[in-house]
């Protein structure tokens, strides 16, 4: 079997060619890159105790990491802030901007707090949500170019709620609810994975159009 190498001009994008063959051909197997944008605290309820809030944050982080890990298991180069916390970038803002720009898809984990932050409605004096507020500015700036519109995918862990989606994406397709941990046996996760990979799972493609009977 001939060895194959992948060449690319940027992370997550490239073409496949066999060694010794100077001709490059597009490949459906090119690794996709995604960035998961989320608010660590998904809620805006100010009546929670500090303990309740810490539990909500821990649960959200665990769900996000489970999704990112599972996507990597299934051939997707997913990135989240938790992967670099122990070797933090010099500037988180630069890191976030680069990840969003380089990603083939940005998975937006929709929640009440996420929508508030991304749309710039979060109180600037708040004690949380700084990172996702900056991500919101990057996302909206990229939307000025129509070719970037398809890269942003609203995703839900809980029941899909249109009220928790940033308004500019309200007319798009919503993915979820994604169970934790995600698995190929879960239909909603398969729909999201199929979108990222750009191909249908076995048995889900439409049947061929046959010759008319008369």
Tokens representing 71 are: 């996507």
DSSP states of 10-63: ETTEEEEEETT----B--TTPPEEEEEE--SS----TTS-HHHHHHHHHHHHHH
- Residue 36, pLDDT > 90, answer yes
pLDDT, tens digit, for every residue of 21-34? 444 434 456 789 99
In terms of Cβ atoms closer than 10 Å to its own Cβ (0-12, 13-18, 19+), residue 188 is middle
Bigger pLDDT: 141 vs 30? 141
Q: 35: which strand partners?
A: 79, 106
Measuring CA to CA, how many Å separate 33 from each of 74, 75, 127, 142, 193? 12, 9, 31, 17, 12
Give dist(CA 175, CA 34) in Å, integer: 15
Give dist(CA 61, CA 80) in Å, integer: 10
pLDDT, tens digit, for every residue of 181-191? 999 989 999 99
Report percent pLDDT > 90 for the chain.
Answer: 68
Q: Name the band, by pLDDT with cuts 50, 70 and 90, for residue 128.
A: low
Give dist(CA 90, CA 11) in Å, integer: 20
Measuring CA to CA, how many Å separate 13 from each of 7, 69, 102? 8, 20, 9
Q: What is the pLDDT of residue 28?
A: 56
For the chain, which domains are there? Answer: 30-197 (3.40.50.10140)
Label residue 95 left, alpha or beta by phi (over 0 means left) and psi (-120 to 50 means alpha): alpha
Q: What is the pLDDT of residue 43?
A: 87
Q: Which of 11-15, 26-30, 80-84 has the lowest mean pLDDT?
A: 11-15
């Amino acid at each position: 079997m001939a060895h194959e190498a992948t060449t690319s001009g940027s992370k997550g994008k490239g073409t496949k060619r066999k060694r010794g063959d100077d001709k490059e051909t597009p490949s459906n197997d090119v690794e996709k890159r995604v960035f998961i944008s989320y608010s660590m605290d998904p809620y805006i309820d100010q009546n929670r105790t500090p303990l309740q809030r810490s539990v909500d944050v821990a649960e959200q982080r665990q769900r996000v990491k489970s999704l990112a890990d599972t996507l990597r298991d299934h051939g997707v180069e997913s990135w989240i802030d938790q992967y670099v916390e122990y070797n933090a970038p010099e500037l988180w803002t630069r890191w976030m901007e680069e990840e969003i720009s380089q990603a083939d898809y940005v998975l937006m984990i929709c929640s009440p707090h996420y929508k508030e932050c991304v749309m710039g409605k979060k109180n600037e004096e708040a004690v949380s949500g700084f990172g996702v507020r900056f991500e919101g500015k990057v996302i909206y700036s990229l939307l000025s170019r129509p070719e970037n519109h398809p890269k942003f995918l609203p995703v839900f862990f809980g029941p899909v709620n249109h009220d928790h989606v940033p308004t500019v994406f309200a007319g798009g397709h919503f993915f979820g609810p994604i169970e934790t941990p995600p698995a190929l046996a879960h239909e909603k996760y398969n729909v999201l994975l199929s979108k990222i990979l750009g191909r249908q799972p076995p048995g889900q493609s439409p049947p061929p159009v046959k010759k008319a009977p008369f």
